[in-house]
Amino acid sequence: MGFFSFFTQELAMDLGTANTIIIYNDKIVVDEPSIVAVEQATGKLIAIGKKARQMHGKTHVNIRTIRPLKDGVIADFNAAELMIRGMIKMINQKPQLFAPSLRLVVCIPSGSTEVEMRAVRDSSEHAGGRDVYMIYEPMAAAIGMGIDVEEPKGSMVVDIGGGTTEVAVIALGGIVSNKSIRIAGDAFTADIQAYMRHQHNIKIGERTAEEIKINVGSCLAELENPPEDFIVRGPNLMTAMPVEIPVSYQEIAHCLDKSISKVETAILGVLEQTPPELYADIVNDGVLLAGGGALMRGLDKRLTDKIGITFHVAEDPLHAVARGTGIALKNVDKFSFLMR
């Protein structure tokens, strides 16, 4: 490898619905929202990541902001390719005599169909990837949280991302039982938008709903140290006059209840399919929560009370999947059986 490794750039990519993270040399070098802004007429890239996100919901006729991934899979092929290429360029800021060939490990939802996997592979190859490997998200999350996935012992991971919630039981380096549902961060945001419309007669955009979720998002109506109410400003739906409404965490807990219940059902469904020996391991060790959704206040407590198994939030849950993808990249030979 020695001489040729100089010409090969190895990247691990967590291609998420909400955020895309790229790891290079064991360091997170790109952590940006998965969004691009393009010119309406020509399809030319204007902005990417944080800059494009600032434009989201504020554009005029000539500019369009696109989130290339929906529910964890590529919905807009061209935009995905522009985004991957642009984010890889962010690492190679210095001018180079020649472009190194790329070796990529990309993580994908465990419920991906062959067509969806093909879309990820094609987008990555068009963006310059020569060797493209894929790893399932719950497996990457488990590796990133320090679980020894090759042990003859059951570990359960719940990864609540932007587009999908992945629930999986892992043992002996493979996924024993799993479920991927399309209820996750984006669904919670949509719930909040609908709730504000029906309950308070106020129209809010995606970004404001996201802020409400971050500031007062909760899964329990009783919290030990509750956050302060969040003030929402927007137009009244009837009069279009500006209104200011304080939103409490209890309201958000109530409005997210249905979606969180669906996550609980998915977890119980996976536990049902789990062999009894592995089930015993999970009861002993508890379940690990990863992904942005794991940061919701009171989620671990609610799941622990409902399911009767201890749930722990991983440290730095936002980057667990990306870290695991990075470790898999370093040990491609060892983890080759996990790669698609």
Task: Tell me the CATH class for 149-183+260-317.
Answer: alpha beta
User: Where are any strands of DSSP class E within 113-218?
Assistant: 129-136, 155-160, 165-171, 174-181
Residue 93: its pLDDT value, please?
67
- The CATH classification of domain 185-255, taken from the options 3.10.450.50, 3.40.50.1820, 3.40.50.300, 3.90.640.10: 3.90.640.10
**Within a 10 A sphere around the Cβ of 63, how many other Cβ atoms?**
15
d(CA 46, CA 65): 9
Rounded distance between C-alpha atoms, residue 15 and residue 22, angstroms: 8
Question: What pLDDT, on the 0 to 100 scale, is given for residue 1?
Answer: 42
Tell me which DSSP letter residue 246 carries: E
Q: Where in the chain is the domain with CATH 3.30.420.40?
A: 2-140+321-338, 149-183+260-317
Q: In the predicted model, what is the mean pLDDT of residues 252-259?
A: 97
Residue 300 confidence (pLDDT): 96
- In DSSP terms, 133 is beta-bridged to 105
Place 30 in a pLDDT band, splitting at 50, 70 and 90: very high
- Give me the mean pLDDT over the 119-127 stretch: 91
Candidates 6, 127, 15; CA nearest to 69 is 15
Provide the 3-class DSSP secondary structure of residue 217: coil
Residue 2 pLDDT: 46
**CB-based contacts of 161, cutoff 8 Å, min separation 6:** 16, 17, 18, 72, 137, 184, 185, 291, 292, 293, 321
Quote the pLDDT of residue 101.
Answer: 80
Supply the pLDDT for residue 84: 93
Averaged pLDDT of the chain: 91
Report whether 34 contacts 62 (CB < 8 A): no
Q: What is the pLDDT of residues 95-110, one digit of tens each?
A: 565 567 888 999 999 8
Compute the 3-state secondary structure of the chain and give helix, strand, coil in percent, each to the nearest 5: 40, 30, 30
The reply to whether CATH 3.30.420.40 applies to domain 2-140+321-338 is yes
Instruction: Determine the Cα–Cα distance for residues 113 and 210; give it in Å rounded to an integer.
Output: 29
Q: With a cut of 60, say whether residue 266 has pLDDT above it.
A: yes
Token duo for residue 333: 């030979």
Contacts of 322 (CB under 8 A, 6+ apart): 12, 13, 14, 21, 22, 23, 28, 140, 144
pLDDT at 4: 45
Which pLDDT value is given to residue 99?
Answer: 65
Look up tokens 């939802």; give the residue: 109
How confident is the model over 279-290, as pLDDT tens digits?
Answer: 999 999 999 999
What local confidence, expressed as pLDDT, does residue 3 receive? 43
Could you give the percent of the chain with pLDDT greater than 70? 95
Q: Could you tell me where in the chain the CATH 3.90.640.10 domains are found?
A: 185-255
